[in-house]
Structure 1
Amino acid sequence: MKRALILAALVLGLGGAGWWYASQRDATGAEADPPTVAVTRGTVERTVLASGVIEAGTLVPVGARVSGQIETLAVELGQKVKAGDLVAVIDSLDQQNEVLKARADLAQIEAQQASNAASIREAELALDRTRQLNRTDLASTQALEAAEATLAVRQAEARALAAQRDRAQVALASAELALERTRITAPVGGTVVAIVTDEGETLNASAETPTIVKIADLERMVVKAEISEADVIRVKPGQTATLTLLGDPSTAFEATLRFVEPAPPGIAQNDAAETTEAVFFNGLLDVENPDGLLRIGMTVQVSILLERASDVLTVPSLVVSRGDGGRSTVRVWDPASRTATEREVRTGIDNAVTVEIVEGLAEGELVVAARDSDTASAAVTMRGRRSVFGF
């Protein structure tokens, strides 16, 4: 039984080898031509591939610097605004009262300054009279010194009132600024991408600045791409790139690599980079978005161009054999003689799919697609070898 199973397996194996051998011959029984590819002109590119996430070119949180209830929210989600446009209005009754109080305090000090000026004038006149009387011995030296001291006191009060007036002016300016800040305006132009605080809510700006809306510049986006440590040494700012969306891989967007971060993102939490996992560096790419097709948070595939050769001779990379010392060869097929000849070639850019041929081939020549005939040789050996079982 065991011998029968072995014989059956051997028959199947020989039958398969015979089928392969027959398939290599044409209808006349002659050896079939090997598969070939023609040398053509084209473009060869070598790129670095990465995945990335789209971010807004500019994202600005717009907050309130004064506390109060939002009376009016003047924008809607997705609305485009210009710098200076009204975003929200906060209940300003408290701020208005503070302005009125500051103005009253300033007016009171200015009135005191007027009174003090009159007192100074009175003290100056009294001092002049006392000096004249003192010269004729009609006023004592003590009276003269008292008049001089009175004038000095009035002048010191004037300086104090001047300082108080300066402080009151500062208080008034602060109150007016707080009142002005109840009207929240857009610091930059862009699109409202988030509404954080709705109309009617109360804001408390005493501890931190509460955010009302977020405005983003969506006409120019930034792609944060993760570049592997093996590829990061080959990229540099200024290189062009192509972006494709997961939802529409047929549409490409042109971008420019602006910056490559000097350390992995994890360095923000740890002093040393994590080495137990794959290490990536963030590359920032700028891409124009005039039609608004790109949105914040989209995932894209990034292809950063390292080098390109256009209108050059090309063949598939698999047809080129690499030897010692950087020697490259191909097998050129001659249809007339139906023979393949090995020929040395000089190659250029090779992206592992297509290789540039700098020298050694001409456009239109045929190159054998298979680089060796090990399989065919094995089949021929099988046909001429006697089985160990006697067949």
Structure 2
Amino acid sequence: MMLFSSLFRTRRRKIAAVTVALLIGLATWYWPRPKPPAFLFAKVVRNDLEDAVLATGVLQPIKQVEVGSQANGQLRSLKVVLGDTVSKGQLLAEIDPTSSENDLREANAGLTTLAADRRARSIRHAQADRELARQRQLARDDATSPRDLEKARTEADALAAELASLDSQIGQQKVKVDKARTHLSYTRITAPISGTVTAITTQEGQTVTAIYQIPTILKIADLSMMTIRAQVSEADVVRIRAGQPVYFNILGAPEKRYEGKLRVIQPSPEKINNAIFFNALFDVPNPDGVLRPDMTAQVSIVSAHVSNVLTFPSVALGEKRADGRYRVRVLDAKGNAHPRWVKVGLDNRLTAQALDGLSEGERVVTADPADAPPPGASDSGTLL
């Protein structure tokens, strides 16, 4: 009996020991394990990358002319309205030509008077030449006096001088006639270029006075080609040059991209609110007429571009080593961060190109969680 009781107690102890061990194992299995910090990350992907200088630009027609009048008088008729398309040489407006026509008639009358006076003097000069020839013949025959010969010579020379003076006056009067005719032509205002009427500043019936400056009647612009004047800061102007590719979009159609090439950088700057800006100009075609004068353009001047390269956010870049490599933290399969030294190519301060040190699909740390230890404290492993 005592032997049975002893065996029973021994068996119960074993069961209890096994139960305790099982409970300890279950507690160990289900006990919360420390999780790695939940880093914010981005994947390394293949993409196109560019570095561009951003600027705000204003659109202007590549050709724009203010059409004015050099004639004085009332604007008698205006042949176009705002928005009309005109051709070079087309009649746009007419100034009252009465005063100019009178000036031309007066100049022509003066020319006619001088021409008649010259004909009369020419007849007298021909007669004086004949008299001088006769006196010379008589002098050879000793049939006239030296006084009569000298008188005939003087008369002929005087009339010749008068004819020369009249020729000069006639030349001057012809200039006046041409000038009056030109002034009369100014009363008919024609289009200097082909384009669109973008403004009308003088209406029919208004008096035009061209004394100190030429008054503007209307404006014509060739809208088929537009020029964009982009204002580039003095900090960025050193990064651009003529010939670089440029693209922009407008506020009304941000999804449409217009492309061109930088034509010129104006050497003299503009000062706006104590900031220095340089105007960079480029041209784009406008066949559909969507682009209009004074529109605002969001301009990107491309200074570098690479295609199909490994890229990751620039915010992932850490310290820079003497050899030019940057420290980047990479997450492993368990979510732990490990530092690597990465060779970086193009970096536009938003996205960077990985030349080596990273593979496509790897996750790079872009930010630490709020409850994570300081960067580097959770890093395990050695630098690669």
CA RMSD of aligned residues (A): 2.5
**What is the one-letter code of the residue matched to 1:377?**
P
Q: Deviations over 1:64-113 (max 9, x none)?
A: 11111111111111111121111111111222222222222222222222
Counterpart among 71, 76, 90 of residue 76 in structure 2: 71
1:31 aligns with 2:35: yes
Aligned to 2:328: 330
Partner SS, residue 120 of structure 2? helix
Counterpart among 312, 317, 323 of residue 314 in structure 2: 317
The CA deviation at 1:311 is 0.8
Aligned to 1:262: 267
1:168 aligns with 2:173: yes
Listed as ranges, the gaps of 5+ residues in structure 2 are 1-29, 378-384
Aligned to 1:52: 57
1:376 aligns with 2:372: yes
CA–CA separation in structure 1 for the residues paired with 2:247 and 2:280: 14
CA–CA separation in structure 2 for the residues paired with 1:94 and 1:370: 81
Partner SS, residue 349 of structure 1? strand
Aligned to 1:157: 162
Q: Deviations over 1:290-318 (max 9, x none)?
A: 22222222222211111111111111222
**What is the one-letter code of the residue matched to 1:195?**
I
The CA deviation at 1:36 is 4.2
Kept in 2, the 8 Å contact 1:331–1:371? The answer is no
Counterpart among 352, 356, 362 of residue 355 in structure 1: 352
**What is the one-letter code of the residue matched to 2:365?**
A
Partner SS, residue 250 of structure 1? strand
Partner SS, residue 254 of structure 2? coil
Kept in 1, the 8 Å contact 2:245–2:260? The answer is yes
1:195 aligns with 2:209: no
What TM-score does the superposition give when structure 1 sets the normalisation length? 0.81
Aligned to 1:367: 363
Aligned to 1:291: 288
1:168–1:71 Cα change, 3 Å? same
Kept in 2, the 8 Å contact 1:69–1:201? The answer is yes
CA–CA separation in structure 2 for the residues paired with 1:136 and 1:340: 136
1:84 aligns with 2:82: no
Aligned to 1:131: 136
Partner SS, residue 77 of structure 1? coil
Larger radius of gyration: 2
Q: Deviations over 1:12-54 (max 9, x none)?
A: xxxxxxxxxxxxxx99856267554332110111111112222
Q: Percent identity?
A: 39
CA–CA separation in structure 2 for the residues paired with 1:113 and 1:138: 34
1:34–1:201 Cα change, 3 Å? closer
Kept in 2, the 8 Å contact 1:322–1:328? The answer is yes
Partner SS, residue 173 of structure 1? helix
Aligned to 2:24: none
Counterpart among 228, 233, 239 of residue 234 in structure 1: 239
CA–CA separation in structure 2 for the residues paired with 1:338 and 1:201: 81
Q: Deviations over 1:234-285 (max 9, x none)?
A: 111222222222333222222332222223224xxxxxxx9x8322222223
Q: How many pairs align?
A: 344
CA–CA separation in structure 2 for the residues paired with 1:59 and 1:227: 24
What TM-score does the superposition give when structure 2 sets the normalisation length? 0.82
1:322–1:261 Cα change, 3 Å? same
Partner SS, residue 236 of structure 2? helix
**What is the one-letter code of the residue matched to 2:276?**
V
The CA deviation at 1:62 is 0.5
1:377–1:206 Cα change, 3 Å? closer
Kept in 1, the 8 Å contact 2:249–2:255? The answer is yes
Counterpart among 104, 111, 136 of residue 106 in structure 1: 111
CA–CA separation in structure 2 for the residues paired with 1:323 and 1:129: 114
The CA deviation at 1:58 is 1.9
Kept in 2, the 8 Å contact 1:320–1:371? The answer is no
Kept in 2, the 8 Å contact 1:330–1:371? The answer is no
Q: Deviations over 1:132-162 (max 9, x none)?
A: 2223333111011001101011111110111
Listed as ranges, the gaps of 5+ residues in structure 1 are 1-25, 267-273, 382-391
The CA deviation at 1:197 is 0.6
Partner SS, residue 230 of structure 1? coil
1:277–1:94 Cα change, 3 Å? closer
Kept in 2, the 8 Å contact 1:229–1:280? The answer is yes
Kept in 1, the 8 Å contact 2:39–2:368? The answer is no
1:277–1:128 Cα change, 3 Å? closer
Kept in 1, the 8 Å contact 2:310–2:354? The answer is yes
CA–CA separation in structure 2 for the residues paired with 1:212 and 1:370: 62
